[in-house]
Amino acid sequence: MNTSGQAGVDVPKVKLTKENFKQGLRIFRFVLPYKGAFIAGLLLLLLSSASTMVMPKILSYLVAIANHQTDTLPSYLPKTVTGIALVLFGVVVLQGFFSFGRIFFFTRVSEFTVRDIRRTLYKKLVTLPIPFFEQRRVGEITSRLTADVTTIQETFSLTIAEFLRQILTLLAGVAFIMWNSWQLSLFMLATFPPLVLLALLFGRSIRTFSKQTQDELAKTNVVLEETMQGINSVKAFTSEQHEVSRYGAGLNRAVQLALKSGMYRGAFVSFIIVAVFGGIFLVLWRGATFVELPVSDSRHLELKDLIEFILYTVFIGASVGGLGEMYGKIQSSLGASERILEILDETSEPVHQPRPAGAAPLQVRGEIDYQNVQFRYPTRPDLAVLKDISFHIKAGEKVALVGPSGAGKSTIVQLLMHLYPLSSGSISVDGRNIDDLDLTELRQHIGIVPQETLLFGGTIGENILYGRPGASEADVVDAARRANAWQFIQSFPEGLDTVVGERGIKLSGGQRQRIAIARAILKNPAILLLDEATSALDSESEKLVQQAMDELMQNRTSIIIAHRLSTIRKVDKILVIDGGRIVEQGSHEELSNDDNGLYANLLKLQFELT
Ligand X SMILES: Nc1ncnc2c1ncn2[C@@H]1O[C@H](COP(=O)(O)OP(=O)(O)OP(=O)(O)O)[C@@H](O)[C@H]1O
C-alpha distance across the termini of the chain, in Å: 65
Q: Is 377 in the site for ligand X (CB under 6 A)?
A: yes
Q: Measuring CA to CA, which residue among 514, 369, 329, 363 is closest to residue 445? A: 363
Instruction: Note whether 453 binds ligand X by CB under 6 A.
Output: no
Of 102 and 418, the one with the shorter C-beta distance to ligand X is: 418
Of 377 and 466, CB closest to ligand X: 377
Q: Which stretch binds ligand X (CB under 6 A): 8-16, 17-25, 405-413, 542-550?
A: 405-413
Contact status, residue 470 vs residue 478, Cβ threshold 8 Å: no
Which residue lies nearer to ligand X by CB, 489 or 582? 582
**What DSSP character marks residue 136?**
S
Nearest to 97 by CA among 131, 47, 162, 133: 47
Q: Are the CB atoms for 552 and 525 separated by under 8 Å?
A: no
Q: How many residues bind ligand X (CB under 6 A)?
A: 13
Is there a contact between 605 and 591 (Cβ–Cβ < 8 Å)? no
Cross-strand bridge partners of residue 446: 527
Binds ligand X by CB under 6 A, chosen from 115, 123, 299, 380:
380
- Please give the residues from 88 up to 147 whose contact with ligand X meets the rule CB under 6 A: 134
Measured CA to CA, the distance from residue 466 to residue 108 in angstroms comes to 35
Q: Which is nearer to ligand X, 8 or 406 (CB)?
A: 406
- Shortest separation between residue 403's beta carbon and ligand X, angstroms: 6
> Minimum CB separation from ligand X for residue 406, in Å?
4
Give 45 or 385: the residue with its C-beta nearer to ligand X: 385
What is the strand order of the sheet 368-375 is part of? Answer: 432-433, 424-429, 368-375, 386-393, 581-586, 573-578, 398-402, 557-561, 527-531, 446-449
CA distance 561 to 403: 9
Backbone phi, psi, residue 484, to 5°: 60, 25
Under the binding rule (CB under 6 A), the answer on residue 382 touching ligand X is no
Instruction: Give how far Cα 421 sits from Cα of 7, 346, 373, 378, Å.
Output: 31, 16, 11, 9
Q: How far is the CB of 579 from ligand X (least distance, A)?
A: 10
Phi, psi of 582 (to 5 degrees): -85, 115
Q: Can you point out the beta strands (E) in 465-548?
A: 527-531
Q: What is the nearest approach in angstroms of ligand X to the Cβ of residue 578?
A: 9
DSSP code per residue over 529-540: EEE--SSPPPHH
User: Using CB under 6 A, which of the segments 135-143, 224-232, 378-386, 486-494 binds ligand X?
Assistant: 378-386
Residues 296 to 315 in contact with ligand X, rule: CB under 6 A: none
Nearer to ligand X, 45 or 602 (CB): 602
The answer to the question of residue 407 lying near ligand X (CB under 6 A) is yes
Nearer to ligand X, 305 or 532 (CB): 532
Rg (CA), the chain: 36
The least CB distance from residue 561 to ligand X, in Å, is 6
Residues 6+ apart with CB under 8 A from 120: 30, 344
DSSP H helices in 26-180: 35-66, 81-127, 130-134, 138-143, 149-154, 160-180
Q: Which stretch binds ligand X (CB under 6 A): 250-258, 318-326, 376-384, 485-493?
A: 376-384
**Of 207-215, 249-257, 263-271, 375-383: span binding ligand X (CB under 6 A):** 375-383
567 binds ligand X (CB under 6 A): no
Binding letters toward ligand X, positions 319-358, x by CB under 6 A: ----------------------------------------
Is residue 275 within 8 Å of 200, Cβ to Cβ? no
Bridge-partner residues for 399, per DSSP? Answer: 559, 573
Nearer residue to ligand X within complex by CB, 253 or 564: 564
Residues 408-447, interacting with ligand X (CB under 6 A): 408-411
- Per-residue string for binding with ligand X, 528-557, x by CB under 6 A? ------------------------------
Binding test (CB under 6 A) with ligand X, winner from 82, 270, 372, 379: 379
State which residue, 410 or 587, has the beta carbon closest to ligand X. 410
- Considering only the stretches 113-121, 398-406, 436-444, 535-543, report the one whose residues sit in contact with ligand X under the rule CB under 6 A: 398-406
Question: Where along the sequence are the contacts to ligand X (CB under 6 A)?
Answer: 134, 377, 379-380, 385, 403, 405-411
